[in-house]
Homo-oligomer: A and B are copies of this chain.
């Protein structure tokens, strides 16, 4: 980290491995945006590390020309924690899926969020298990018919952002594979956040769950179904921004801007407000509400690794000798001649 940062192009982040997702998979767009934004992050490329678990999404590291480790199912966050703690100067990225990060890996995800290491999590949510060919996932809607649920799934899905908030996340955001510019902005924001950033990316699996987010990406519907969040701005949506979200007591409602309600009656987004974040995250999967995208929640908090480094520094300051030989020789000793 001595030299000045180089100027990179997208090509610098493109590895020599052939990309092996299905044609039309939403993963391509995410890869492209990442490769586009990374030159601008101001980090020497040898300092980027991508860690993933197993799943279609988890193939991601192979295609980024950075350091990368495609590990085992569900453990990306734990491995990334080891990477970050071993060298806190690295920019560490976790790529995971709704199965990898929320099913088998759910525990590591919530513990990472609680610990708040400065790691950027990109969770590709296609609401299905892609790599294993189409079983339902913990984000699949109730009643979903899949290979493993021929009569429909029985379990209420997680709402990933609500879960992340419940776990103590300091940064929670969402974007959509087709919203390329927005995704670039979200990647930037994740990078900028000091602490764990949790970014959910709605990703279309056109083979096993095609159209899962069609309502949010189709030209005709998307302005009515997506709520684009901007910090400090009122929560308006609709083609003409003619609709808004407001609070009726503790309950959010959708209102039409017009005679009864003006823009001033609409809730203003505040990224630092837990209640707003949790209201917003709960709007997900609700038929009468738009799905919010953007940064739902962002607060500052000390990171685990900063505390760790401070402790080690303090310990060294107090006991500078720093050789195990002193410990070897300590305690009651005696000499045999």
Interface positions of A (Cβ within 8 A of B): 103-107, 110-111, 114-116, 138, 151-152, 154-159, 162-168, 250-251, 273-276, 278-279, 282, 301, 304, 307-308, 311, 314-315
Pick the residue among B110, B168, B282 that contacts A106 (CB under 8 A). Answer: B110
Contact B155 A315, beta carbon cutoff 8 Å: no
Q: Which residues of B contact A278 (CB under 8 A)?
A: 274-275, 278
**Copies of this protein in the complex:** 2
- Ranked nearest first, the 8 interchain pairs of A and B with the lowest CB-CB distance are A166-B166, A107-B107, A250-B275, A106-B107, A154-B307, A115-B155, A163-B166, A151-B311
Q: Tell me the minimal C-beta distance from A184 to chain B in angstroms.
A: 28
Contact A114 B156, beta carbon cutoff 8 Å: yes
Contact A116 B156, beta carbon cutoff 8 Å: yes
Contact B156 A167, beta carbon cutoff 8 Å: no
Closest to A160 in B: B166
- Give the complex CA separation of A151 and B159 in angstroms: 37
Q: Which residues of B contact A104 (CB under 8 A)?
A: 107
Q: Tell me the minimal C-beta distance from A273 to chain B in angstroms.
A: 6
Contact B167 A163, beta carbon cutoff 8 Å: yes
Q: Which residues of B contact A168 (CB under 8 A)?
A: 156, 158-159, 162-163
